[in-house]
Amino acid sequence: MALQLYNTLTRRKEPFEPAEPGRVRMYDCGPTVYSYTHIGHLRPALVADVLARYLRSLGFEVVHITNFTDVDDRIINRANEEGVTAEAFANRYIDDYLDCMRRLGITTVDRYVRVTDHIADIIAMIDRLVTNGHAYPLDGDVYYDVTSKEDYGKLAGRSLDEMLAGARVAVDERKHHPMDFALWKGVKPGEPSWPSPWGPGRPGWHIECSAMSLRYLGDHIDIHAGGDDLIFPHHENEIAQSEAFTGDAPFVRYWVHNGMLQIDQTKMSKSLGNFIRLHELLDRFPAPAVRLFMLTTQYRKPMNYSEAAIGEAERGWARLRQAREHLRQALGAPAPQRAPVAVEEELVDAEGAGAAATAVPSRRQSADALRQAVLAAQTAFTAAMDDDLNTAGALGAVFDLVRAVNSALAGPREREPLAEAERALNAMLEVLGLAAEPAAAAGDDRLLEGLMALLLDLREEARSYRDWAAADRIRERLAAMGVAVEDTAAGPRWQLTQEAPAPRA
């Protein structure tokens, strides 16, 4: 079975097939940059990132565009309050956003585009909509005429009449239809503006995403993603104006919307003071743990943020990275081959002898079990991801594989199955964006490696004299410095307990 995506437009899961075979064009709505990046911004960015990663792993070429809406009433008002330009104001939050994305390993975006760099595209688009009879100028503004096409409301699943019935805001009487929305807003005092055929002004909300996606991705895009709070009016309006512009539906083949993030069961909002800045979160938790947390819920479901939940994710991440690191060490070092194979084989055959818990599987059994687990995990992982990007289910497969790897690592080892398991595990983690090099893979730090080898040698010597006080002191001091030492049957091993510092570029 191939990838299926839930399409908001049809309200069904549909087999995914891009318009052009092998090539996927996707656009996701980034933030309006009027404040610091918060964890609510992360979900759509992460969903798009994982989707792009998965598509690439399936062999698709993916062109992925994300936008910044950097001109908007909130931006203008706040910039004016601070006495800075809207541009400088927006830049501050764009930088914050990009830095968060970098830390989180959101790497699939080919190009971030901003509205103020595309005013000419926007004006050209509005101009044609006016010419086509889909929009009309009005006192320096330009409005889109929602009655100019029959299918307005198809994404939201509501007719114009139904929308009017639910209207909770006073209607601007000048407009042809109450639902008509602004494509262009005439300038008001204190606002940035650009010249246009309708006088100086700025783009309305909605038109920018259409203009920029048409510019970079053409008349038809395969996937358009965003939060489900954008379904109406933002995406509805994008469809209307884009299809009115090109005269060639569908503008978007698959509309992908993620559920909202809540904080402790309530809506995240400034007034409630439960706004969590992504930067602060990333200072307190490892970025992969944050990613893992977000991926434990299927993207369309609403999800709840809580300290407890992200703490659990942090421990889950520790399990993943340790398995990965132990696997790496096992494959990097010569496999311990102490016990003769024959002895191990005998242990298995001794069916009635001893408790089951102490029975050691043969090397052959262990290898077969691991191979089987790898295949099962790959199958389950793909099935889950194919089913509308079910990352929660996919993580179940990952953890199943981790358990199998840990078991294999504890018993007699055979190199090739372990290497297969490592490849499979890394491939899955790569799709989920959790494959960043573990901190302990500090192979490039020769001095650290050398010092640790020395310390562990000394400690082993102390242990051989049964000088536990000395051995424990070394271990405790290292622990305090962020180096965990563990004694295993194959000798001591160590790793850093904190994430590696960002590599110096």
Partner RNA sequence: GGCGACGUAGCCAAGUGGUAAGGCAAGGCUCUGCAAAAGCCUUAUGCGGGGGUUCGAAUCCCCCCGUCGCCUCCA
Of residues 69 through 128, those in contact with RNA by CB under 7 A are 72-74, 77
Residues 6+ apart with CB under 8 A from 158: 232
Q: For the residues of 396-435, what is the DSSP string, one character each? A: HHHHHHHHHHHHHHHS---HHHHHHHHHHHHHHHHHHT--
- How near is the Cβ of 21 to RNA at its closest, in Å? 27
Window 268 to 287, contacts with RNA (CB under 7 A): none
Window 24 to 53, contacts with RNA (CB under 7 A): none
Residue placing its CB nearer to RNA in the complex, 171 or 248: 171
Phi, psi of 293 (to 5 degrees): -55, -50
What six digits make up the tokens of 406? 């840990």
What six digits make up the tokens of 505? 């570029």
Residue placing its CB nearer to RNA in the complex, 126 or 384: 384
Residue from 12, 23, 188, 267 binding RNA (CB under 7 A):
267
Determine which helix (DSSP H) or strand (DSSP E) holds 479, and give its type and residue range. helix 468-480
The contact pattern for RNA, residues 121-160, with x = CB under 7 A and - = no contact, is -----------------------------------xxx--
Residue placing its CB nearer to RNA in the complex, 229 or 445: 229
- How near is the Cβ of 471 to RNA at its closest, in Å? 4
Only one residue has tokens 């899955």, namely 428
386 near RNA, judged by CB under 7 A = no
C-beta separation of 250 from 224 below 8 A: no
- How near is the Cβ of 160 to RNA at its closest, in Å? 10
Q: Report the alpha-carbon distance of residue 42 to residue 105 in Å, rounded.
A: 12
Residue placing its CB nearer to RNA in the complex, 185 or 220: 185
Q: Report the alpha-carbon distance of residue 75 to residue 288 in Å, rounded.
A: 31
- How near is the Cβ of 87 to RNA at its closest, in Å? 18
Contact region with RNA (CB under 7 A), list: 37-45, 113-121, 406-414, 430-438: 406-414
Residue from 21, 22, 59, 166 binding RNA (CB under 7 A):
166
471 near RNA, judged by CB under 7 A = yes
189 near RNA, judged by CB under 7 A = no
Contact region with RNA (CB under 7 A), list: 41-49, 244-252, 302-310, 438-446: 302-310
348 near RNA, judged by CB under 7 A = no
Residue from 80, 304, 329, 365 binding RNA (CB under 7 A):
304
**Residue environment code for 475-501, b if the CB has 16+ CB neighbours within 10 A, otherwise e:** beebeeeebebeeeeeebbbbbeebee
Beta strands in 259-399 (DSSP E): 261-263, 266-267, 303-305
